[in-house]
Structure 1
């Protein structure tokens, strides 16, 4: 590798992260202590949901985004599970619907009232029973309405039609060991998994087959994650044999060698990757770290370009990630994280420094909106469709001039 310092021109080179003011945090929350490598937090433009400690069962908080400050201990929770909640995911096509997976082996789907909870929510809209061990992963199909995937510690992946509560596909025997992560492709025709056997697999759920597989994607024994990028490549995080944390980029057409591989450090927290398909930036947050590193993925070598690191004092217990349509485009905000501490949730805003008062087309191409591209039945029948895109231009509010809002130059 040559270490010639070439400064790449990138509009994301100066992206900077800023925590919000103290009064804009969510305080006095008892974040779950379960040892499970999920994000523990899910956000959308209406609500933030956080898995919390619950006596005798499993619960998560759902707070309207604006409900910041101290959260009363008696604030109602979603508490229908009989075991700890391990994962939660907001439906991409309805901001009031959230799914949860639990140690009680069930998946539950909840309807959150318009203004949030005024009393504990114990009755799910749907209970999905099919796993024989705890359910550690729930993730909605990106483009088909009412299609939900769950993965359990029984090494089985189930795909459900939530509208009819039926099991659409039961994928058994494809994973010999614990499934660490599942990520849908952008059009939802396939998904990729990272497994404890160190393999990354690309799976066609409708055929029930493994389309591609990379054994020993990372040599280390600690948990890996794999996510699909918009162009069909796969980004993974894991550990080397020497327990160094690594990132890698893979071409699914040829999984022999990674297109790019980078070693980060020798911390031991699992790396949670978050990906923005509109900007092709991947943010990597280590569980138990106090930093968020971000990288731009490009078509040209070395493919993974380090941009910057946001560092704070406190380690993160988990992390939520706001969909693009929930960001403030008039402030050039390109990402927002919801960082979980032991007792609070702190939003962190990522901004591209620009002075202009105009809508920044290049930062905000049309993005996935809340409309589903098809019904569950169409997807089962073999249809494939990408997300229905929306423009963020109408969300843009020109800010009255009070001197420069951001620092740095246009296109910096």
Structure 2
């Protein structure tokens, strides 16, 4: 008897929405950064746009207007490329952006039909050069993780003068950050092919670390909901798309992996 239960999603295939449900008037950017180029709250969608060299942010709503169409507005946010963005889990209208201009900004955005803010509510200057990643803490309002090339800083947005903590530097380019759902741990992936798990309340060095995916192509890390498990996605040595599952309490080796096909990149 097979001790592994067959997943009910084994043969699931994506269903593409009808064309009248597409947001078609979006000019997304094609810039290179480690962060997200699109993010959504329950009400709004923000995305990087290719206007004005990358310092502009596009904004639209999740649902169309009464005429069945989506309004898209553009907001000037930074003087250089927006490298990452994240909505607050406590406020659908509070958006954090970080940029190659070395700043993090918090914006109180409105519905796209309304007048958008003329400036940021908060501006942080971590002082670590180009910033790549920003992530709101899932359970503590106003707490941000900010990633530069090799360093992660934790900031309280109500205390704008200096970081709460600076975690031990990574060995190479930081590629992704992810908070555990209860906010107790922060995981990272890096170009040095290592996974790290930090408990920022206890120490600035990793509480767990391990060799991750062995390709130096970009990788992403994500906590599995309501568990101690971590998913990493990236590429294997043969350029195949790979997903691995890890137990954050014992990162010595992965629990399993799956190959999702070969990349043409």
- TM-score tier by shorter-chain length is 0.7 to 0.9
Specify which of 197, 208, 226 is matched with residue 202 of structure 1. Answer: 197
Match of 2:50 in 1: 53
Q: Cα RMSD between the aligned structures?
A: 2.5
| 1:182 partner SS | strand
- In the TM superposition, 1:87-166 aligns within 5 A as 87-113=84-110, 115-116=111-112, 118-119=114-115, 121-153=117-149, 155-166=150-161
Q: Does 1:86 align with 2:54?
A: no
Change (3 A) 1:238 1:66: closer
**How many angstroms apart in 1 are the aligned matches of 2:153 and 2:14?**
37
Runs of 5+ unmatched residues, structure 1: 270-412
**How many angstroms apart in 1 are the aligned matches of 2:172 and 2:55?**
25
Match of 2:242 in 1: 246
Q: TM-score, structure 1 length as denominator?
A: 0.58
Match of 1:224 in 2: 219
Change (3 A) 1:116 1:175: same
| 1:249 partner SS | strand
Q: Does 1:17 align with 2:14?
A: yes
Runs of 5+ unmatched residues, structure 2: none
**How many angstroms apart in 2 are the aligned matches of 1:142 and 1:201?**
19
Match of 2:187 in 1: 192
**How many angstroms apart in 2 are the aligned matches of 1:252 and 1:12?**
24
**How many angstroms apart in 2 are the aligned matches of 1:18 and 1:241?**
31
**How many angstroms apart in 2 are the aligned matches of 1:260 and 1:7?**
13
2:231–2:243 Cα contact (<8 Å) kept: yes
Match of 1:179 in 2: 174
Change (3 A) 1:136 1:263: same
Deviation at 1:213, TM superposition (A): 0.5
Deviation at 1:18, TM superposition (A): 2.4
Change (3 A) 1:126 1:263: same
Deviation at 1:152, TM superposition (A): 1.1
Deviation at 1:57, TM superposition (A): 5.2
1:225–1:237 Cα contact (<8 Å) kept: yes
After TM superposition, the structure 1 stretch with the greater mean CA deviation from structure 2, 255-264 or 103-112, is 255-264
Deviation at 1:208, TM superposition (A): 1.2
Q: Does 1:262 align with 2:258?
A: yes
Q: TM-score, structure 2 length as denominator?
A: 0.88
How many residues get paired? Answer: 261
Specify which of 73, 77, 101 is matched with residue 74 of structure 2. Answer: 77
Deviations 1:82-108 (A, max 9, x none): 001111111000001000111111111
Deviations 1:340-383 (A, max 9, x none): xxxxxxxxxxxxxxxxxxxxxxxxxxxxxxxxxxxxxxxxxxxx
Match of 1:66 in 2: 63
Deviation at 1:262, TM superposition (A): 2.0
2:61–2:70 Cα contact (<8 Å) kept: no
1:42–1:49 Cα contact (<8 Å) kept: yes
Change (3 A) 1:57 1:121: farther
1:57–1:79 Cα contact (<8 Å) kept: no
**How many angstroms apart in 1 are the aligned matches of 2:194 and 2:4?**
35
Deviation at 1:19, TM superposition (A): 2.5
